[in-house]
Amino acid sequence: MRIRHGGVAAMKLGAAFPSTEVSGNPDDVRRFVRAIEDLGYDHIMVPDHVVKPSLEDRDPPIVGSYTEKSSFHDPFVLFSFMAALTDRLHFVSGILVLPQRQTGLVAQQAADALCFVTGPA
């Protein structure tokens, strides 16, 4: 969704993927992507959490919208699935916890994802 000011695109808007609300159901993801595209947004932001520590017995307690049982999908896998559903949307990782991944593998995954979305360089 582009906000215009004087005929010039001033801002692009995106939507956050509701990781804790959408399960691993491909139909739910498909509906979300199509709705975001139909609404005119430019990108989808996907959060990342590899390791989710227990929130019990914390002092002070940690509060938030997710627990260690919440599902977070791997951003690269999710981006690949979403990219097959759209020709227009872009994808953004809101956070990528690199220390919990092999750096070389992340570089390859990012390069492959870019290749499949935009075509070979």
Nearest to 29 by CA among 71, 70, 85: 85
Q: Residue 26's pLDDT band (boundaries 50, 70, 90)?
A: very high
Phi, psi torsion values for 39, nearest 5 degrees: -80, -10
Mean pLDDT value of segment 9-23: 85
β pairing state of 2-5 and 14-16: unpaired
Entry pTM: 0.78
Direct distance between the N- and C-terminal alpha carbons of the chain, in angstroms, rounded to an integer: 27
What are the boundaries of each domain within the chain? 2-53+69-118
Q: Tokens for 73?
A: 């999908």
Q: Look at residue 3 in the predicted model and tell me its pLDDT.
A: 60
Q: Which of 3-17, 34-48, 93-107 has the least mean pLDDT?
A: 3-17
- Residue 61 above 80 pLDDT? no
Element (H, E) at 10: strand 8-12
Q: Look at residue 119 in the predicted model and tell me its pLDDT.
A: 56
Q: Tokens for 105?
A: 């593998």
